[in-house]
């Protein structure tokens, strides 16, 4: 079956008929309408509250997620923590326009990606993106309901986290597996793009954003500028469990600096730490203050683990750290733009999906390797499900 269009399209058909009275053949033409099923590309992410009214439910869902944390009396603690934190988080969202733009950016990215995919992979067209957020609408259940309505048979789950972490992509995939079971969609042809930290298109897009921002410095300032790659931190308990995220982020940074020719000094720093427990460091805030004390005046901040703007870039990087840098005397503080709808990045997204389709791979071998100290049963059951998909694909080949 060849997929070509999500909507009804006209096709002229010609058929040879025989006239009953004269027995002479004649050519008949007419319009036949055909409906093709789309190849689904499911964009997974944590999401963000679109309005201030969504903040508390977003936080409650986050702290209720037992795929990233197991707490005693978690249901009650999630309510308590989200209620306490909502006022301050609401204030942060109010300062960036009253909500997260992540849904808007993901839609723009998805629409542009699917158009490009239709061009470069006509044999699997039409392609349609579905958004599956973890903690806000559109939830994973919402995406699967829409896919079921569209009679989807082939679905590629495309994480929007370039680097894999059990706390992000891992949680999304576990929820996807549960949703597949709830909706009875086990028989779909599922596959996963679970990470892409070194994809050349992604590296080029990030490097392009850095080069564009470096041009805003004078030649003297540019040579002196320190590039600070900032990624969301993780609790050390997660890192020590064996989560691959720190290594994959570091590899992305290395590839970007290789592309840039190592013309500037750089460091990988970590943001968004919450709570008293030890987190991966150095913290972005501490790095800014430390370099300021050392007399460094030109710091270029680069979001390296995010694919669009949201609270961590617009508030934390731009406003919070921007203010800290100013107070510390950093006169050349800048932030590279997020990837958002950058054409180079959109092409990278389409290329990643195209390469995945051509590979016939269900999921990377790396994904099947669980953290050495993993204690989450859901991680095992999700992998068992996709292991069966690998076996089915192997049988089909034979």
Residues serving a catalytic function are: 199, 351
Alpha-carbon distance of 5 to 126, in angstroms, equals 5
Q: How many helices (H) and strands (E) does the chain have?
A: 15, 10
* DSSP string for residues in 309-358: -SHIIIIIIIIIHHHHHHHTT-TEEEEPPP-TT-HHHHHHHHHHHHHHHH
The burial class, CB within 10 Å (0-12 / 13-18 / 19+), for 373 is exposed
| Both tokens assigned to 1 | 């079956």
Q: For residue 380, which of 214, 174, 75 has the smallest C-alpha distance?
A: 174
d(CA 345, CA 106): 12
Picking from 75, 170, 179, 241, the residue whose alpha carbon sits closest to that of residue 383 is 170
Report yes or no: 261 and 212 within 8 Å, Cβ to Cβ: no
Please, are residues 209 and 261 in contact by the beta-carbon 8 Å criterion? no
């Amino acid at each position: 079956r060849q997929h070509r269009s999500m909507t009804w399209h006209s096709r002229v058909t010609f058929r040879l008929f025989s006239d009953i009275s004269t027995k002479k053949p004649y050519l008949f033409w007419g319009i036949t309408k055909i409906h093709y099923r789309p190849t689904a590309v499911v964009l997974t992410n944590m999401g963000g509250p679109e309005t201030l009214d969504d903040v508390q439910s977003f936080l409650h869902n986050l702290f209720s997620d037992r795929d990233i944390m197991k707490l005693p009396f978690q249901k009650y603690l999630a309510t308590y923590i989200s209620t306490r934190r909502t006022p301050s988080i609401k204030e942060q969202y109010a300062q960036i326009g009253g909500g997260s733009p992540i849904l808007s950016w993901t839609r723009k990215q998805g629409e542009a990606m699917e158009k490009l995919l239709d061009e470069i992979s006509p044999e699997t067209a039409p392609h349609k993106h579905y958004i599956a957020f973890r903690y806000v609408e559109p939830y994973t259940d919402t995406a699967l309901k829409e896919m079921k309505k569209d009679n989807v048979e082939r679905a590629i789950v495309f994480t929007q986290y370039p680097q894999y972490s059990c706390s992000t992509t891992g949680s999304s995939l576990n929820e996807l597996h549960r949703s597949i079971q709830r909706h009875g969609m086990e028989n779909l042809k599922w596959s996963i793009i679970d990470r892409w930290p070194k994809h050349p298109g992604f590296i080029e897009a990030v490097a392009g954003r850095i080069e564009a921002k470096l041009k805003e410095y004078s030649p003297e300032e540019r040579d002196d500028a320190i590039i600070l790659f900032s990624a969301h931190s993780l609790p050390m308990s997660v890192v020590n469990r064996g989560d691959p995220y720190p290594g994959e982020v570091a590899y992305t940074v290395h590839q970007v600096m290789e592309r840039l020719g190592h013309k500037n000094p750089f460091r990988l720093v970590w943001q968004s730490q919450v709570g008293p427990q030890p987190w991966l460091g150095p913290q972005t805030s501490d790095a800014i203050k430390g370099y300021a004390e050392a007399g460094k005046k030109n710091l270029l901040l680069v979001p390296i683990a995010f694919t669009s703007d949201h609270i961590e870039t617009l508030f934390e990087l731009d406003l919070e750290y921007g203010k800290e840098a100013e107070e510390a005397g950093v006169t050349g503080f800048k932030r590279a733009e997020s990837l958002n709808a950058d054409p180079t990045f959109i092409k990278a997204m389409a290329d990643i999906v195209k390469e995945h389709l051509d590979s016939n791979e269900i999921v990377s071998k790396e994904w099947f390797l669980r953290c050495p100290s993993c204690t989450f049963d859901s991680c095992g059951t999700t992998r068992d499900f996709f292991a069966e998909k690998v076996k089915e694909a192997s049988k089909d080949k034979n």
